[in-house]
Structure 1
Amino acid sequence: MARDIEPAAPEEFGLVQVWWGDGKGKTTAALGMAMRAVGHGYRVHLLQLMKGGAASVESVRGEYNAIAALPGFSYENAGHYGWHAMNDGSADADHEREARAGLDRARDLVAAAGEADLDAPLDPEGSPEDGVNMLVVDELLYAADRGLVSPGEVVELVESKPESLELVLTGSHTRPEYLLDHADLVTRVAKEKHPIDAGQRARKGTEF
C-alpha cells in the first residue's frame, strides 16, 4: 500500500556500488534503486557522463521526465553529443573536456555531501549542493575505461566520500580492477543476447 513520501534520513547508507559489464541494464538498475530510495524520502542526485545524445537517441531521455516528477530526485547531464572514438561527427577532445568537467562536478557534489548533515532529513526541493543521500555517477567507469579520466582519479573520488553518502558508479565493459578493493558492492551485468547485434537501434522507452 502506497503512502505519502516524507523526507527522511537513511540509517544504513554509506556504501560504494559499482555496476559494470557488457549487458544492458547498468544505468537501469541504478535508476531503479534511486527511485526506491526516493520513495523512502531520501535525497538522490543523478549525474550522467558520456550520454549527450546521438542520431538514434533523443536528447530528452524518458528518465529525465520521470525524475522531474519525483520529489527528492534531481539530475544533470555532463555528456557530449555522440560517442567517444566513434565516427559520428563528434570530436574526441570535446568528449574528454566534458568528461573531465563531469568528474569535477562529481567531486563538488561529494564534497557538498561531506558538508551536509546526512543524519537529518534533507529538503527534497533543495539543491544537490545542499547535500544528497545517494549520488549516482552514471558512465564514469566508461570515461575511465576510455582514458578520458584516470582510474586513479576515480579511486580518489571514492576515497573522498563522506561516511554516510551512498555512491553508485556505473559503466564500462571492462572489469574495473582498480575499484575492487574500494567498493562494497560490485555487480557485473553480462550480455547473453542483445538486439543491437542484429541491427536494432536504441528504442524509445527502453534505451532512452
Structure 2
Amino acid sequence: MEKLERGLVQIYTGDNKGKTTAALGLTLRAVGHGFHVFILQFMKGRQDYGELQGLKRLEPECQIEQFGLPGWVHKGQAKEADCLEALKGLERARELITSGEWDIVILDEIINAIWFELIPEELVLDLLEAKPGHVEIIMTGRNASSTLIDKAHLVTEMVSIKHPYELGIQARKGIEY
C-alpha cells in the first residue's frame, strides 16, 4: 500500500459553512488514490448526517466514528458527559494516528471541542507532536487559536459573504447535513 511521503497538518476554520465539506472532498480524492482515511467527528451525535451513509460506500478505505451526544453544548456550560465523550474521541484519534494503518485522519469539529472547553488544547497539541511523519491530519471547526494555526502547514478560513440562513432558509437535507 502506498503511503504519503510527508504528512502535514491542515486546518479548515471560520464562521461559514464548508469546513466539514472540504475535509470530505479531500477524503474522496484520497480514497480515489488508494489512501486510507479515518474520520472522527467530535460534538456530532446525530445519525441523520448524509456523510454517515455516503461514506459507507467508501469502506473499507474510509471509516467514520462519532464522538458526541445528541443536542447542543453551550460555551461555559459543558456537561461532564460531553467532556468525557470528547476525551474518548481524542484517545481514539491517538490510537488511529499512531497505528500505521491510516494515511489521513480527519478530526472533524475538534477545534469546536477545544473552544467549547470539552478538551484542553494542550492535549491536541500533544497529539500533533505524536503524529508519524507519513500521516496527514485535518482539523475542522470555528475559532482556531493562533497556537493551532502556527502548528498547521495549511490553514483555510471559510468567511461568510452571504448565507441562505440570512433569507430565513433552514438547513437542508443533503446540502447542510
Q: Hey, what's the Cα distance between the residues in 1 that align with 2:147 and 2:4?
A: 29
CA distance in 1, matches of 2:18, 2:146: 20
Which of the residues 94, 106, 125 maps onto 1:107? 94
Q: What is the letter of the counterpart of residue 151 of structure 2?
A: H
Secondary structure, in 3 states, of the residue corresponding to 1:179? helix
SS in 2 for 1:67: helix
Instruction: Give the corresponding residue for 2:82.
Output: 95
Q: Counterpart of 2:43?
A: 50
Runs of 4+ in 1 over 6 A off after TM superposition: none
Q: What is the CA–CA distance in structure 2 between the aligned matches of 1:133 and 1:193, rounded to whole Å?
A: 35
SS of 2:147's equivalent in the other structure is helix
Q: What secondary structure sits across from 2:155 in the alignment?
A: strand
Query: What CA distance in whole angstroms lies between the structure 2 residues aligned with 1:10 and 1:184?
Result: 19
State whether residues 26 and 189 of structure 1, in contact with CA within 8 Å, keep that contact through their aligned partners in structure 2: yes
Secondary structure at 1:66 match in 2: helix
Q: Specify the structure having the higher radius of gyration (Cα).
A: 1
Query: RMSD between aligned alpha carbons?
Result: 1.8
Q: Give, as a single letter, the amino acid of the residue that structure 2 aligns with 1:26.
A: K
Point out where structure 2 has 5 or more consecutive residues left out of the alignment.
none
**Could you say which structure has the higher strand fraction?**
2
What is the rounded CA distance, in whole Å, between the counterparts of 1:11 and 1:98 in structure 2?
A: 30
Q: Distance in 2 between matches of 1:38 and 1:207?
A: 23
Q: Does the CA-based 8 Å contact 1:85-1:92 persist in structure 2? A: no
Normalising by structure 1, what TM-score?
Answer: 0.78
- Give 1:26's aligned residue: 19
d(CA) in 2 for partners of 1:176 and 1:169? 12
Q: Please, which of 118, 127, 132 is the counterpart of residue 102 of structure 2?
A: 132
Give the drift of 1:198.
4.1
CA distance in structure 2 between the partners assigned to 1:79 and 1:99 by the alignment = 7
Rounded to whole Å, the distance in 2 between the matches of 1:50 and 1:22 is 17
The code of the aligned residue for 2:2 comes to: A
Question: What is the rounded CA distance, in whole Å, between the counterparts of 2:169 and 2:66 in structure 1?
Answer: 25
Give the Cα separation in 1 of the matches to 2:36 and 2:163. 34
Count of aligned pairs between the two proteins: 175
Secondary structure of 2:39's counterpart equals strand
Contact 1:133/1:166, CA 8 A, preserved across alignment: yes
Q: Deviations over 1:83-108 (max 9, x none)?
A: 2118xxx9732221211111111111
SS in 2 for 1:180: helix
- Name the % identity: 41
Q: Normalization by structure 2: what TM-score?
A: 0.91
List aligned pairs for 1:1-208, cutoff 5 A. Answer: 8-53=1-46, 59-71=47-59, 72-85=61-74, 92-113=79-100, 131-172=101-142, 174-208=143-177
Say which is worse superposed, 132-141 or 97-106, in terms of deviation: 97-106
SS in 1 for 2:99: helix
Alpha-carbon distance between aligned partners in 1 of 2:4 and 2:34, rounded to the nearest angstrom: 12
Q: Which deviations, in whole Å up to 9, do the C-alpha atoms of 1:94-148 show, x marking residues without a partner?
A: 22121111111111111213xxxxxxxxxxxxxxxxx111000100000001111
